[in-house]
Amino acid sequence: MEEGVNGEARPQAETTSTASDGIGEELRLLDAYWRAANYLSVGQIYLLDNPLLREELAAAQIKPRLLGHWGTTPGLNFVYAHLNRLIRARDLEAIYVCGPGHG
């Protein structure tokens, strides 16, 4: 188990590969990248201040009007993370294009 943001235990991502073949480590890093991107997205959508939560969150630190929404963010970050991996692994010239609003 890993420790979550508030100290609660959360299950660690499991892979079917072993770290010795490199795939397990690659998937662990990819998952960490995806979770970090989601964390940054939440901060950009909801917060005015205190993005690292170094102090208890106060109402004054939350945006009064949200621009954007969380709904599609994890999926878009997931696609971006995996495409980034493929582009690097295969030295591709590619671009990630998504539409406005809902991706």
Q: Could you read off the pLDDT of 25-72 as tens digits, one per residue? A: 999 999 999 999 999 999 999 999 999 999 999 999 999 998 777 888
Confidence tier at 16 by pLDDT (50, 70, 90): low
Question: How is residue 97 written in tokens?
Answer: 């294009």
Q: Could you read off the pLDDT of 71-85 as tens digits, one per residue? A: 889 999 999 999 999
- The pLDDT value recorded for residue 8 is 63
Residue 5, CB-side half-sphere exposure with 13 Å CA sphere: 10
Domains of the chain, by residue range, sit at 2-90
Q: Is 68 left (phi over 0), alpha (psi -120 to 50) or beta?
A: left
- The pTM of the whole model exceeds 0.75: no
- The pLDDT value recorded for residue 36 is 96
Which has the minimum average pLDDT: 11-20, 40-49, 51-60, 89-98? 11-20
- By CB atoms closer than 10 A (0-12, 13-18, 19+), residue 35 is middle
66-77: buried (b, 16+ CB within 10 Å) or exposed (e) per residue? eeeeeeebeebb
